Amino acid sequence: MSLNFGYMKSFLSFAFILLIYTVTSGCKPPELENGCDPNSRSFLNLLFVKNLTTDRSPSCVPYFERGEPSFLSYGVFTFGSPAEVITAAIAKGKIYIGGFFDQMAALTGGGAYVWSDSGKPVASTYCPQLEVFDESLPGYGTINQAVMDPAGNLYILGKFTHIQGYPRRNLAKINSKCQLDLSFDARLNPSTTIYYDLLYLDGRIFFAGDFQSSNGAITNFPSTTFREHVASVNAITGQIEDWAPIVSGTDVKCLATDGSFIYIGGEFTTVNSNPSAYLGKIHKINGSDFYSIVTPNGNVNTLEIKDGILYLGGVFSSLNSGAAVRSKLAAIDLTSNTVTSAFSSLVIAGNAVFDIAIYNDQLFVAGEISTPRLGIFKTDLTGTTPSPDYALDGIFQYVYKLSIIDDHLFAFGMFETVRTLDRKYVFQLHIPTDVVTQFNPKLFNANNTFNGVALKMKDNVIFLGGGFGAIDTRAQGYFAELDLQTGVPTDWNPEPNDLVSTMLIAENRLYLHGQFSLINNTVRQSTAAFDLDTKSLLAWNPIFQASSIESLVYHQNSIYAAGVFPDVNSVPVNRIAKLDPIASTFDANFLANPNNTVRSLQVWNDELYVAGQFTTIPNVAVHLAKLNRFTGAFQSTHSDTFTSNFSAYSAFVSDNRLILSGQYETTAPYAGFGLSFYQLPDLTSIPTNGTLPNTSEFVRSMDQNDNRIYLGGFISSIGGNPRNGIFSLDRQTLTLNSWDPKLESGSAIRKIILNGNALYAFGNILNANKRYRIGIVKLDADSGFLY
């Protein structure tokens, strides 16, 4: 059903474009032929062709997505760890969130598309992010290396199990439209293997790592196949090839080619049963032959070839049994297989050289090094070191991987500033001027010794691969405003100094409550309100205890507040209050007097329905009661029998019915856990075939559209059917349906909000349907697919 829905949206979008083209193209005067002028016939021709061919290449002519969700997902973090969104609201094209977080970042996994000038993430409508995911890790996968073929296809190698939600293990192909190539699948087996390097050559992909027969078959397709540290696959299908050199030892970390031979470096000891420690030479066709080559006395981490010279870096101190003394860097003439005189007087102090990159006659050297420079230095191809110092700083000053695109160097590693500029974990250098540019993707995590790569995907789009998990990291504490359509956080930040736990939007005003005592540089005791147009702080400031309000609703120029508070403005008011939305005062005549916490409020037909932990209000009413909204006087309650009851957490009105959920068990008239249904207005019980598994699970928030009711909370199953964090009921029959976004086990939803055909869920979310998500997820309300 969801697949048909996607096709229907695709068809309708395309039909709309075709209709517009047909109607308008004939009306265009022939003299208007500017392809970038929307009034031009040429523009319409290009618009039609671009969308017919799904061409996303950079252009003044837009591409309209057809049936493909688009949303740049930002996650919330605290001290670098996943965090939780506690409350949320939507209004005027913006999402407002509050919770436990001090950072936000765009969730890309270890591969991201960014704009070449700024490093900002590219919008999904232009170039869909890869969402590199690893189900065996905390959620995001990593990219160690990537290459491109002449047709603009991108090949990525690393540690991941899914790309854009599709299963792909450690090796994948991305087409020029930034989408996974479904026809390429190497079907690598699950393992703890580290895949270090790959290269494209003559329609083949060669890759290297620490895999070997003793660790199991590298693939079982089309038959069980073993490989020793190096392998090749067909670049069209991904199918393993017969090329099978035998490399013995620890691993192969780097590859290079001159077009005929594959040069390998690492920690191995033999190649095809011949002694060839740390450096080897293998023919691209016949991988079983042996070719002698210079032997270093230590590990080789990186290789580059230029003009018949092989440059290598690592941890070695000499080559050919000490005949040539070199300090972690050497050059070999491939014609004569001899060590050249380059770098003979260069001393590199530190642990290791991890990568090198060549630009014209300049060589960039990176690693865990301290001399001649910290982390990275530049030299000519003979070893004469120029004077520039990149002045890395931070807890560490290491550079691990280098890439060159056009005239720019990209350096990945563990550092925080470069020449005093804030550049965490990656910086871009304009090589001709030796200037650190404004490019700053703000990586979330550092890149380690074997991941980090930059490639030019399109004219103004760069692919970054690494170990970062997320980009565009922003310091944002407890509260944020995001664009509803793009998902990108705005610049508005009133900077509350503590938790925002409850929100309400009413009459173009945003009301906040939590633990804060300072917001917008103004003293406030746990409450505040803002004008949504001007973002100005309003005078509204009723005094509540910190985080004592659990529910806020607005009805006919009154705000109803419920929670655990014992007073308002230092005047005793017991757990429910009726507030003025402007004046910070409350109605002293509204007296409900529950004997315990009130967690949820609903207004229906001018009556106030309250749910919570109470058992009297003041009449006997276990967890649920109807009150007079003017006075707070008790009117009625249900007749259910509750046992093992603790609290109700949420109530929701749908079609003259009230849905209640919490930590309780009912035994009469209908047995079940944590989910009850009542007819309004008399609160008589309605039978349902759905029940939560026990009293530890409950629903926190609900919303609905014409067909479904969506329920989110602390949930693992409903009616015996697995559902993590969220599920949906048929609105007419109140029965469970097949809608399931497949959140990670353990996910807990605090708030759900429907807006159009999108459902926004907020809470403790770690991933959804094998895509990296933290705290926020946007779902298609019909299919459950992720945006």
Q: Work out the mean pLDDT of the chain and round it to a whole number.
A: 92
Is pLDDT of 19 > 70?
Answer: no
Report the predicted TM-score, pTM, of the whole model to 2 decimal places.
0.89
Residue 41: what pLDDT? 55
Note whether 513 and 530 are within 8 A (CB): no
Percent pLDDT > 90 in the chain is 87
Closest CA to 496 of 525, 530, 520, 531: 520
What is the SS3 assignment for 6?
helix
- Residue 21, pLDDT above cutoff 60: no
DSSP 489: B
Judged against a pLDDT cut of 90, whether residue 5 lies above it is answered with: no
pLDDT > 90? residue 25? no
Look up residue 369 and give its two tokens: 């090094």
For the domain spanning 497-780, the CATH number is: 2.130.10.10
The secondary structure of residue 231, as a DSSP letter, is E
Do 726 and 741 contact (CB within 8 A), yes or no?
A: yes
- Using CB atoms within 10 Å of the CB of residue 322, give its burial: 0 to 12 exposed, 13 to 18 middle, 19+ buried: exposed
What does the alpha-carbon distance between residue 501 and residue 653 come to, in Å, rounded to a whole number? 23
**Residue 448: predicted pLDDT:** 87
Distances (CA, A) of 16 to 12, 19, 27, 66: 6, 5, 17, 11
- pLDDT for res 24: 45
CB 514 within 8 A of CB 528: no
pLDDT of res. 16: 46
User: Is residue 315 a contact partner of residue 367, using CB atoms and an 8 Å limit?
Assistant: no
Q: Which of 503, 482, 507 is nearest to 492 (CA)?
A: 482
Which pair of structure tokens corresponds to residue 629?
């909204």
pLDDT category at 64 given cuts 50, 70, 90 is very low
pLDDT tens digits for range 614-667: 999 999 999 999 999 999 999 999 999 999 999 999 999 999 999 999 999 999
State pLDDT tens for residues 710-738: 999 999 999 999 999 999 999 999 999 99
Q: Residues of 205-224 as b/e, b for ≥16 C-beta within 10 angstroms?
A: bbbbbbbbeeeebbbeeeee
CA-wise closest residue to 577 among 534, 625, 610 = 610
Which residue has 């110092």 as its token pair? 389
Length of the chain: 787
* Angstrom distance (rounded) from CA 629 to CA 612: 17
Question: For the residues 38-47, what does the mean pLDDT come to?
Answer: 54
Q: What is the pLDDT of residue 459?
A: 80
User: Which residue type sits at 561?
Assistant: A
| Share of residues in the chain with pLDDT > 70 (%) | 91
11 pLDDT above the threshold of 80: no
pLDDT category at 44 given cuts 50, 70, 90 is low
Read off the pLDDT band of 54 (50, 70, 90).
very low
What pLDDT is recorded for position 39? 53
Tokens 């494209």 locate to 200
Distance of CA 607 to the CA centre of its chain: 43
In this structure, the dihedral spanned by the alpha carbons of residues 99, 102, 103 and 107, taken in order and rounded to 10 degrees, is -30
Section 341-354 average pLDDT: 97
Each residue of 683-715: pLDDT tens digit?
Answer: 999 998 678 999 999 999 999 999 999 999 999
Report the pLDDT averaged over residues 516-541.
97
Mean pLDDT of 359-369: 97
> End-to-end distance of the chain based on CA atoms, in angstroms?
18
Kindly report the backbone phi and psi dihedral angles of residue 657, in degrees, each rounded to the nearest multiple of 5, phi listed first: -130, 150
What average pLDDT does range 457-478 have in this prediction?
95
Domain boundaries, the chain: 2-52, 301-325+346-444, 497-780
- What pLDDT score was predicted for residue 218? 98
Please say whether the beta carbons of 69 and 785 come within 8 A. Answer: yes
For the stretch 75-102, pLDDT in tens is 999 998 999 999 999 999 999 999 999 9
Mean pLDDT of 253-278: 97
Q: What is the pLDDT of residues 201-258, one digit of tens each?
A: 999 999 999 999 999 999 999 999 999 999 999 999 999 999 999 999 999 999 999 9
Q: Are 296 and 278 in contact (CB under 8 A)?
A: yes
Distances 225 to 12, 82, 158, 412, 620 between C-alpha atoms, Å? 46, 39, 20, 34, 71
